[in-house]
Amino acid sequence: MAQLSIITKNRNVPLDKIRNVGIIAHIDSGKTTTTERFLFYTGRTYKIGDIDEGTTQMDWMPQERERGITIVSAATTTFWKGVRINIIDTPGHVDFTAEVERSLRVLDGGVVIFDAEEGVQSQSETVWRQADKYRVPRICFINKMDKLGADFEATVKEIKERLGANPAVMTYPIGKEQDFKGIVDLLTLKILVWDKDDQGIEYSISDQIPPDLKDKVLKMRAKLVEHVAETDDKLLDKYLNNQEISVEELKKALRKAVISYKLIPIFCGTSLRNKAVQPVLDAIIDYLPSPADLKEIKGLHPVNAEEEKRKLTPEEKFAALAFKIQLDPHVGKLTYTRIYSGVLKSGTYVYNINRDKQERVSRVLLMHANQREEVDEAFAGEIVALVGPKETRTGDTLADPAYPLILEKIIFPEPVISLAIEPKTKADQEKLSYTLQRLSEEDPTFKVKINHETGQTIMSGMGELHLEILVDRMKREMGMNVNVGKPQVAYKETVTKIVDDVEGKYIKQTGGHGQYGHCVIKIEPLGRGEGFKFVNKIKGGAIPSEFIPPVEKGVVEAMDKGVLLGFPMVDLQVTLLDGSYHDVDSSDIAFKIAGSIALQDAAKKAGLTLLEPIMKLEVTVPENFMGVVIGDISSKRGKIIGTEKRSRAVIIKGYVPLAELSGYATILRSLTEGRGIFYMEPSHYEEVPRNIIQTMLNK
């Protein structure tokens, strides 16, 4: 705790001395290793954490340490040259994309890490697009310059071409692969060589550019100066008149260009070998924005939906966004919150606008991965965890009750895979629903549904690894022993034809009051991904207005249960055209049942079909295995969209139905003698071929 108290003492720094940054990248690019070096060089930790030894600070969960991957984003705070850096280390695996999404929503800047041999990989593209969506200024670090096949210039070219970035190359490597020993700083033309100690704390600085690099370096510096000058009118004027531009002027203009998304500074090094990490820390301070640079945040007034603004200062009215819920065994529910404006004191009440609830904040905690330190108050620009709020969920806005505003929510992707789960003993039944509820509070991409017909509990997530980790957490953290079914693909049902004038009638005569509900609907298909629309076209009070929501409810319930094979229905519009009612016997329940009957009858006539999730698949294999892997993908109903050569390997890209990819890791290993690796992410939904639907119906 001594380490944390240093942070506590130095917390109240000026806004321009705060950086909220996320470390984002493809899996295995070196995010956690780089973060561990940041913590070590800034004096936050006294020992470098190692992923292979399971001693990292940021990967603290047992599952993370065993597998050597990041599963949950971890937050920490450190200081470098008098600037406070709040860092979030995010997962690289696509199954945990929600962690990246919610982290980027609350960060001011990002450090994107690339593998110097692999270049821009598919998950790099995904996280880049996520950062674009939230307009996050970023810098790039080309890591693993010591790796066999490392190619700095090819990776820079890919960043430009595949990501559409405008790169400003800031450092150039001296040597590569096992000969990589340092960098040339292109702004100052200083040579930085890490040859003093194994931990990379000390390095030598000189002005002597190696003769074999001199021409290249001077050419690249000229290019960098031109790039920066183009973003600033004053500097462009100087540049065109061949006047000298100072390093300070360049830095200032570059900072402005980064914050306005015009340029992306690029650095290189190797985190594992402790070389060239400190210049990236300098770059975070020099080029990434502070809350003072971003000036304000916009939101909407909850009542009149007019735009509201808040300055990002402690003097402003309080506004914050809850971006992550974590269940801590010691303190209960932690609500990770980015405070945008104002000050939050422990023991006070805040207003949750999304839930229309007052929430008491009993404690405010500063986090270092899974360690906590209590503080009395939190200021604008900080990322803290709150203890106390009970109703708050991911994406909720907390604000001053007298000055409410709603900040932009976080939108998460839909799950694509599910499995049935049941408790091993009857006594565990109640405990299971409590456990699942807690886990779904933490993870917005984890959904739970109970199939009332079979009594099964179905849990859905973003991939097999995602569900595997959740089941493992249930066993370890919550002592739940469960039986797990085989993973099931999240199919959806839809219609292909328009059907008009379908009646739904529910009439039941009993001794007393009867039941009477009657509606007439039209059903029609919508485009892929358009969801569901309900249109009310009742005229002249054929159905009283209070019975129209029950009809919609009945339709929605019938859609959730599915008609063809019991999968939820999507992408259709239901129009309520007509109906009738009875003065005495009509009721909400009767119209709900009528709506449900009408939907089922209409769907059966409207060309029901099945949709399946299609995955974007990228397989990296040595060239001699290319033919056999392509053949296997084609046999799985896959479409090959292209191949690409990178160093000594070939990348095969395609779209494959998720249903065909069960156990693909094992298949690929056996096809490629263990040398193939693959990456997949959900892409879109497509119709299932008729013959496969028939086979499923006959089962």
* Cβ pair 170, 188 in contact under 8 A: no
Name the amino acid, one letter, at 673. Answer: E
> What torsion do the CA atoms of 385, 391, 396, 399 make, to the nearest 10 degrees?
-80
Residue 29 annotated as part of some ligand binding site: yes
Residue 32 annotated as part of some ligand binding site: yes
Percent helix, percent strand, percent coil in the chain, to nearest 5: 30, 35, 35
Name the amino acid, one letter, at 408. Answer: E
Residue 418 annotated as part of some ligand binding site: no
Residue 17 annotated as part of some ligand binding site: no
Nearest alpha-carbon partner for 11 in 364, 318, 296, 328: 364
Residue 695, Cβ neighbours under 10 Å: how many? 11
Residue 25 annotated as part of some ligand binding site: yes
Residue 98 annotated as part of some ligand binding site: no
Residue 237 annotated as part of some ligand binding site: no
Q: How large is the angle between the packed helices 211-229 and 247-259, nearest 10 degrees?
A: 60
- CA 330, 473, 33: angle at the middle one, nearest 5? 85
* Cβ pair 660, 637 in contact under 8 A: yes
The b/e string for 516-531 (b: 16+ C-beta within 10 A; e otherwise) is bbbbbbbbbbeeeeee
* Cβ pair 342, 318 in contact under 8 A: yes
Token pair recorded at residue 169: 């190359």
Altogether, the residues listed in the chain come to a count of 699
d(CA 679, CA 658): 13
Nearest alpha-carbon partner for 187 in 141, 229, 220, 145: 220
Residue 144 annotated as part of some ligand binding site: yes
Q: Which helix (H) or strand (E) holds 256?
A: helix 247-259
Residue 523 annotated as part of some ligand binding site: no
Residue 535, Cβ neighbours under 10 Å: how many? 13
Residue 274 annotated as part of some ligand binding site: no
Token pair recorded at residue 189: 């033309």
Residue 30 annotated as part of some ligand binding site: yes
DSSP string, 620-672: EEEGGGHHHHHHHHHHTT-EEEEEEEETTEEEEEEEEEGGG-TTHHHHHHHHT
Residue 93 annotated as part of some ligand binding site: yes
Residue 143 annotated as part of some ligand binding site: yes
Q: Which residues are annotated as a binding site for GTP?
A: 25-32, 89-93, 143-146
Q: Which residues are annotated as a binding site?
A: 25-32, 89-93, 143-146
